[in-house]
Structure 1
Amino acid sequence: MQVNPVLDVRDLSYSVAGRALLDGVNLTLPAGESLAVTGPSGSGKSTLLNCVLGLIRYDDGAVRIAGQDLAGLKPRNLARHRRDTMGMVFQFGELLPELTPVENVAMAALLAGVKRAEAFGRARRLLVDLGVPVEATPTAELSGGERQRAAVARALVNRPALLLADEPTGSLDTQNREAVAELLFSLPRTWGCAVLVVTHDESVAARADHRFALREGRLVAEDVPLSRGAR
């Protein structure tokens, strides 16, 4: 039986000032699998993520998340669908430094309408599972790796079908980069979600189940990554 993909991008095109950043991009990603897209700065990787998030009105093609075509949604319904089906990890975490990790993670659940006790319970459990301190420590006092793991917890707290990450290891040292990359690419197995990562780091991309490079607006399949047992 064929499983419907969580992410389904068809013939996606987007141009700025006459330059095609995306030129007929196609990709599909089912639950339980990961995909990495590499490319230098300015190649269109973040543009691709923004199209998937529904933040950019693309010129042509279609983006479907969990079976829903984003182009057919009104802004309020699009925001709701994004909240209910997607989680996002940014390069610098984008956490509020004055809040504790638990408060940062719980806030995302509260904004989604989860009751306070459940939101904070989910946040604490996630942070413990991901190895982040849950005591009343401001997020600003965490290490870089701990902040990124807290950002992953925030992206997971609403139990998304699709987790997106934009250069999630770009600001980390080697040790923390490896730890965060290992965490991200373990999520399809441990959480059952689909994971799409864009990165310029080839060693990070090599951990994904599927690997593509964005070149002149088109996705090009790269070498098959290492098997999980060899990582």
Structure 2
Amino acid sequence: MADRVLLDGVNLQVRGGESAAVTGPSGSGKSTFLGCVLGLIRPSGGTVEVAGQDIARLRQRALERHRSRHMGVVFQFGELLPELTPVENVALAALLAGTPSGQAYERAEGLLAELGVPYRGVPTGQLSGGERQRTAVARALVNEPAVLLADEPTGALDATTRDSVADLLFEVPERWGCALVVVTHDPAVAARADVRVELKDALFVPHGAEVRP
């Protein structure tokens, strides 16, 4: 039995200051696409260029450095450490990237203040869902990435909080100058993006278009 092809010659270019949304049913290959962009999955062909570097050709240590410096990720459930304060969660990402402690905490506090998150003295686990996702966005931005990837970032939120977090995410390209790529099942979230594609039969298809046989 031949291996299943999840991505076949897909092409997506997102520049700094632009946003793109990738939609598609469960199992269509959205997670594989994210894994390729992050360098967690090496494609059998083609290039995956982030910040001028084809990450598919990097060795593991160089890949980890490039990912830390140039990519930020927001997950559906935040993936934060609940026992740490928001500023500790955000600063930790900068510290792991080699930023000096004082600078890491200063940058973390500035981002959290700008995003309206109470960051002193409160464990992250006690924040609301929206505040946790804003903390996750701050953590993803703390190393000033070239691209921000968001994997179902509003999937665990109620409608009001979803809209607030989506507002924030789609302000990111203009406010911070990075590219934004959102993977989502939510058509209302996807509709906010500059470019919207669907994964159909291993191809990226512009929203509303049909796959040609």
TM bin (shorter chain): over 0.9
Cα deviation digits, residues 165-217 of structure 1 (max 9, x gap): 10000000001100111100110110000000000100000000110001111
TM-score (norm 1): 0.88
Q: 1:199 is matched by which residue type in structure 2? A: T
Q: Are positions 1:31 and 2:3 aligned together?
A: no
Provide TM-score, normalisation by structure 2: 0.95
Question: What SS does the aligned partner of 1:49 have?
Answer: helix
Out of 63, 66, 88, which is 2:48 matched to? 63
> Could you tell me which amino acid in structure 2 is paired with residue 113 of structure 1?
G
3-state SS, counterpart of residue 24 of structure 1: coil
Name 1:131's counterpart in structure 2: 116
Higher relative contact order (CA 8 A, sep 6+): 2
Q: Secondary structure at the match of 2:175?
A: helix
C-alpha distance in 2 between matches for 1:113 and 1:35: 30
Matches of residues 40-59 of structure 1 in structure 2 within 5 Å? 40-59=25-44
Aligned residue runs from structure 1 range 81-120, under 5 A: 81-120=66-105
- When the two chains are superposed, the root-mean-square deviation of aligned CA atoms in Å is 1.4
CA drift at 1:137 = 0.3
The worse-fitting range, judged by mean Cα deviation, of 56-65 and 89-98 is 56-65
SS of 1:153's partner is helix
Question: What is the distance in 2 between the residues matched to 1:107 and 1:136?
Answer: 16
- Do residues 197 (structure 1) and 182 (structure 2) align? yes
Q: CA deviation at 1:17?
A: 6.2
5 Å matches for 1:220-231? 220-222=205-207
Report deviation, 1:60. Answer: 1.5
- Whether 1:216 aligns to 2:198 is no
* Aligned match of 1:7: none
Unaligned runs of 5+ in 1: 1-15, 224-231
CA distance in 2, matches of 1:97, 1:71: 33
Counterpart-to-counterpart distance in 1, 2:99 and 2:133: 23
Q: What is the identity percentage for the equivalent residue pairs of Structure 1 and Structure 2? A: 65
Find runs of 4+ consecutive structure 1 residues off by over 3 angstroms.
Answer: none
Q: 1:71 deviation in Å? A: 2.2
Give the Å deviation of 1:72: 2.0
Mapped partners of 2:56, 2:128: distance in 1:
39
Aligned to 1:171: 156
Find the residue that maps to 1:25 and give its secondary structure: coil
Distance 1:25 1:71 in 2: 15
Q: Counterpart in 1 of 2:170?
A: 185
Please identify which structure carries the higher strand content: 1
